[in-house]
Each structure stands twice: as C-alpha cells, then as structure tokens.
Amino acid sequence: MKVKILLIIICMGVFSLIVNCRNMFTNNLFSSFQRDPENLSDGQKISYAKDILAVGSTAQIRNAYNLINNMLIHDSNNTELLLLAADLAIGGSGVLEVLDEVKDESSLEAALALLDLNLIQASADHIQTAEALGAEISVSQYLNTGVILLGVASDQVGGFSNLNLLHGSIPAVVPPDPVAWETLLQADNYITQGGGDISDYGVENSNLP
C-alpha cells in the first residue's frame, strides 16, 4: 500500500505542475489543435505538445506524448524532447483522473487502477537519460523521478517494508540485491536534489552514503 501512496504523492506534485502551466494559457490555444499534428514540422510538434500539456485532456496529453516519443526515436539525445516527454508521460498517465477519484484511503485502490504505470516509469527513464546528457532538470522533475525510483526499488525487493533491509551496516558493504541497492541510491540522490528527504517516505537514511 505504501508504494501506491507514493504514486499519489507523485500525482500531487505533477498535478501542481500541470495546473500552474494551465493557468498560463487560455482556451484560444485550441484553435491550433485542429490540424493533424503528424503533419506539423518538428518545431510545431513541440509547441503543440507543450500547449496540450497546458490545457489538454489526459487522452490528448497521451497522444502528444506518443508524438514526441516518436521524434525521440530519430533524435534520442535531444534533451528538450526528453524533458518534454517526461512531463507528458506523467500527464498522460491518468494523474487528473486519479486526483478526481481519490476522496479517501478507501477509494485509493480503484483510483490507482486508472494510472498507466508504464508511462510513469517512462517518465523516470526520460529524466535519467536527459540528466546523463547534461540537461538541466527541474526540482519537481528530480523529486518525481526519485519517488518513482523508490517505487521501482520496492518492487525489486518484493515490498516497501524490505527497503530498510538493504542498508544496514553489512548490506551497505555487500548489498544482498545490488540492483535494488543501486536503484535505492539513485532514488535517494534524486529526492535530495528535488529538495526532499528519503526519510519522509518511510525509508531510513542513516546508513545511506
């Protein structure tokens, strides 16, 4: 359950980002959405995707993500595309629907079923690639990616409660699961760069390097 709650935390952060973007735009942007985006130039496709992220529905954002992700196939080192794809991936994952549906903890399970976890994972992948290429990552992108990686590490060790078993004094020297240990360290690094603390999510950090 805690991993799923972490996903809600991600949603809340991204939702704030999307709302802030939406407040900067008006509905007159939709006049530019009438054209088939596949027929737009690359520059127009990027502008189109940014506009959709600001004012579009989940389905429209998901389609815009596919548009930008297809551009990445031919331009995989383009950090502008990677960062835009990361935001579109979470925006198109069902964030808005989840926030509409979650009224209390009892409604959490049903609401989370609306999330596209593959797109959430794709967002983290795009951010990690962009960072490796030297892109400037925003605070919210770091934090969101760190929390996503925390969920990945949890899955790798079979549950959130097992994360704290990874970083006792002996596991810190010889991790029982090197892949999960590395993912946990990445999560800690990203959460820190996002202005957070991994302990805020129930993971002890006293033995993390």
3-state secondary structure 80-113: HHHHHHHHHHHHCCCHHHHHHHCCCHHHHHHHHC
- Answer yes or no: is pLDDT of 208 > 90: no
- 117 with 168, same domain: the answer is no
- 95 with 43, same domain: the answer is yes
Residues 6+ apart with CB under 8 A from 10: 90, 120, 144, 147, 148
Q: At which of 96, 131, 166 does a domain end? A: 131
Q: At which of 108, 131, 154 does a domain end? A: 131
Q: How far apart are CA 108 and CA 46, in angstroms?
A: 34
- 20 with 75, same domain: the answer is yes
- Which DSSP letter does residue 158 get? T
- 73 with 152, same domain: the answer is no
Rg, C-alpha atoms of the chain: 18
- 46 with 92, same domain: the answer is yes
Flag whether 155 is in a domain: yes
pLDDT band for 175, please (50, 70, 90 cuts).
Answer: low
Query: Which two structure tokens, joined as six digits, stand for 45?
Result: 């496709």
Q: What is the pLDDT of residue 27?
A: 44
- 121 with 147, same domain: the answer is no
Flag whether 40 is in a domain: yes
Of 90, 79, 70, the closest CA to residue 16 belongs to: 90
Flag whether 207 is in a domain: no
Of 48, 47, 28, 46, the closest CA to residue 36 belongs to: 48
- 9 with 74, same domain: the answer is yes
Q: What is the pLDDT of residue 105?
A: 57
Q: How far apart are CA 121 and CA 128, in angstroms?
A: 11
- 71 with 144, same domain: the answer is no
Mean of the pLDDT values across residues 51-74?
Answer: 92
- Answer yes or no: is pLDDT of 30 > 60: no
Q: At which of 131, 156, 182 does a domain end? A: 131
Helix (H, G, I), strand (E, B) or coil at 17: helix
Flag whether 96 is in a domain: yes
Over the chain, what is the mean pLDDT? 78
- 79 with 127, same domain: the answer is yes
* Sign of CA pseudo-dihedral 160, 191, 122, 88: positive
Write out the H or E segment, with its range, that includes residue 180: helix 178-193
Q: How far apart are CA 64 and CA 177, in angstroms?
A: 37
Range of 1-5, 21-25, 50-54 with top mean pLDDT: 50-54
Mean of the pLDDT values across residues 89-95?
Answer: 86
- Answer yes or no: is pLDDT of 23 > 50: no
- 144 with 74, same domain: the answer is no
- Which DSSP letter does residue 206 get? T
pTM: 0.79
- 154 with 181, same domain: the answer is yes
* Total domains, the chain: 2
Flag whether 163 is in a domain: yes
Range of 2-11, 64-73, 172-181, 190-199 with top mean pLDDT: 64-73
Question: Which domain, by its residues, includes 83?
Answer: 1-131
